[in-house]
Amino acid sequence: MQGNWKMSSGSGRVNINNEHVIENTAFQMHGNLKTGGGSRHVEITTHSDGKIVDHQEIFQHWVTGSGSGLMDEIERILGIKMTDITIEKAKTALTSLKPPPPPPGTVPGYPPGLNEPRPTTIEEYLRNFEVMFVVDDSASMKGKRWTEARDALATIAQKAFELKVNTMNMRFLNNASDVRGVKGKKKLISWFNKVKPKGKTPLGRRLKVVFDDHLNRIDSAVREGPEKYSKILPLDIIVLTDGMPTDKGEDKPAKVVAKTVERLKGSHYHPNTMNVQIVQIADEKKAEKVLKELVVGDNGRIVDTVPYAGIVDSEKLQKILLKGVHPNIRSQMPEEMLAI
């Protein structure tokens, strides 16, 4: 069952009062808070003035006081009281939500799936989305981390083989190979055996290549007409990385994403055309802070991050794929729900 809700300004910024404003430059910490109903995950922020802010508390202010149509939809899907809705529960509900219509003037002929809820099974996902896995092959990925990334991807590659689809693709940060239509564990493993982790972590540079490739394909399809354009599947970009991006200047990930969003909006393409999830496969706190800044930056909400939570196996990776949220839904979320 789906409801209808209107798209607001899309800023994603919620200012309850001066004490509750979250600064993008704040230092992030995680913890568990014991409550009467047991423990819950808490994200707190330490400001430069020393104040501690609980993201869940701020989120509850938004839940009960924002009057958001998005919040009404979350409550309907979960079927529980607003005061019982946590950030985690709300984000889960958003994956099954029908997105709002695109802005007026959006180029017509886009794939109809951009206006539908995201897939709920890996089979449906691989049939209706193109996924580009961007694998960190920097020197720090040698050994267990390289094996972890390989094994997590192998099961998905096998599923693509069984479904006979060509929607799973793979690139690396340093190695220039562009692997299209990955199918089967053997092919996936052979690529991981060929590529040897070395060098730095040029995330921004590689993202630019992936972004430009996809938008260039759309440009070409739009020129050919709606029939061609409607067959361009939405692109999910899944980055598996263990460290800090090393790009400088215009290649910094935040600048690359901002320019891409500017192009996306300037071309009047559907906001759900592509989506980025950055999955951390190591507990690197400095990297976590930098990657979170991508999520709340000037990025049209096309970027989300999955903080480190232990080994990323195939089951976890499939859940990550299915937990993605459409960008034009994420743009309605307060910052307290992002990058947690």
CA distances from 145 to 149, 255, 281 (A): 6, 28, 7
Average pLDDT, the chain: 80
The pTM assigned to this predicted structure is: 0.80
CB neighbour list of residue 282: distance below 8 Å, 6 or more residues apart: 140, 145, 242, 243, 308
Confidence of residue 48 (pLDDT cuts 50, 70, 90): very low
In CATH terms, the superfamily for domain 112-322 is von Willebrand factor, type A domain (3.40.50.410)
Quickly tell me which residue has 């232990």 as its tokens: 310
For 302, phi then psi, to 5°, come to -85, -5
pLDDT in tens, 230-283: 999 999 999 999 988 999 999 999 999 999 999 999 999 999 999 999 998 877
pLDDT in tens, 118-145: 999 999 999 999 999 999 999 999 999 9
How far is the C-alpha of 271 from the C-alpha of 273, rounded, in Å?
6
How confident is the model at residue 213, as a pLDDT?
A: 98
Check residues 172 and 294 and name the one with the higher pLDDT: 172
How confident is the model at residue 293, as a pLDDT?
A: 74
Check residues 100 and 90 and name the one with the higher pLDDT: 100
CB neighbour list of residue 223: distance below 8 Å, 6 or more residues apart: none
- Cite the residue boundaries of each domain of the chain with CATH code 3.40.50.410: 112-322
Collapsing DSSP to helix, strand or coil, 59 comes out as helix
